[in-house]
Amino acid sequence: FNLEESGTGNDSAIDNLAVYDVSPTLAKSFSPSAGLSAGERTRLTFTIANSEERGAKAGWAIDDALPAGLAVAGEPAVSTDCTSPSVTAAPGATTVAAVGSLAEGSGGCEISLWVVASGGGTFSNCATNLAASSGLILPTACAQVTYAAAPAAAPPAAEAARKAPRAKHRPRKPQKHGKAKPAGPRLAIAKKASTGFARPSAVVAYAITVWNKGGGSARGVKVCDQPPRGLTILRSEPPASAKGSTCWRLKSLAAGGKRTFRLTAQIAPTFGAATVRNVATVGAANVSGARTASAKVRVRPLPATACGSSLSRPLGPRIALRC
């Protein structure tokens, strides 16, 4: 610091200097995360969210060890929208490795694949499951998926027959033969924010992912996001309509198909200490009802300094400021 008060000193000083980590943040999730039986698939998604400065991030890598009892499905159907991606996920493997980059201005990207459990239980995939990683801020929360326990083994045929009550003989009704109706489309939606905490005027990125988990194609799909008061939509990827809410329309979404839509929004400068939550919905012409997902960001205003600045005081010893 320049302590010369005459105005002729030859030193210089910098006040309110802060250093921020702009590495991308990694998050993991399962969908669906409950209501599954052994042998059914769940979608494991790795989300890499860029920092607010949206700089290019090259050369990040992950090596994720799946929880015991969970493995890559026979048909992983790996998908990603990352830049220069390379994903290693062999059928039956218990590890998933990936490397990639984020382009300048990108809000983030995702890598997803099908995994399956061989038995019942709750499986947790946490930061400790990462055997190796580089260039990423590790997740603070665990991703969990729950499988129902396998049913008890049926008794031997002779024992079952002995225990079964004898039924009166009734003539058989003629059976109707016909083709079984195919399973229809079944939509699911998930929404994530690039951060859980933000300041007024901050820019937050949202990712909205829609799946068709049914057996038929969904027609006339409509995905909308309704911004709450205090949140202004700046842009959307791909471009969407913006009449009170931001909406995307798809002619169809095939069975097993997946689409991700992105929003960039700004929190109002006058927004106080509160939680801003916005909800995304998805529906289709041939699907009854709509599915919803929400993401929340807690807003905490910066404290004012002795000089009236809105910046936080830097770490270090307290020094009286001359204003």
Q: Parallel, antiparallel, or unpaired for β 218-226 and 246-253?
A: antiparallel
pTM confidence score? 0.46
Q: Which residue has the tokens 């607010």?
A: 52
Strand partners, 108: 49
What is the reported pLDDT for 20?
A: 72
Which pLDDT score is estimated for 153? 58
Check residue 243 and report its DSSP letter. Answer: S
**What is the pLDDT, as a whole number, of residue 323?**
47
Please tell me the predicted confidence (pLDDT) of residue 312: 44
Q: What is the pLDDT of residue 226?
A: 84
Phi-psi label, residue 191: left if phi above 0, alpha if psi -120 to 50, beta otherwise: beta
Residue 14: the pLDDT is 64
Quote the DSSP letter at residue 223: E
Q: Please say whether the beta carbons of 254 and 185 come within 8 A.
A: no
Q: Which parts of the chain sit beneath pLDDT 70?
A: 1-18, 150-171, 173-182, 242-244, 303-323
Asked if the bond preceding 238 is cis, omega within 30° of 0, the reply is: yes
What secondary structure letter does DSSP report for 311?
A: S
What's the pLDDT at 1? 47
Q: Exposed e or buried b for every residue in 269-299, given b needs 16+ CB within 10 A? A: eebeeeebebbbbbbbeebeeebebebebeb
Task: In whole angstroms, give the CA distance from residue 299 to residue 181.
Answer: 50
CA distance 263 to 252: 21
Q: What is the pLDDT of residue 300?
A: 87
Each residue of 25-83: pLDDT tens digit?
999 999 999 999 999 999 999 999 999 889 899 888 999 999 999 999 999 999 999 99
Q: DSSP letter at 163? A: H
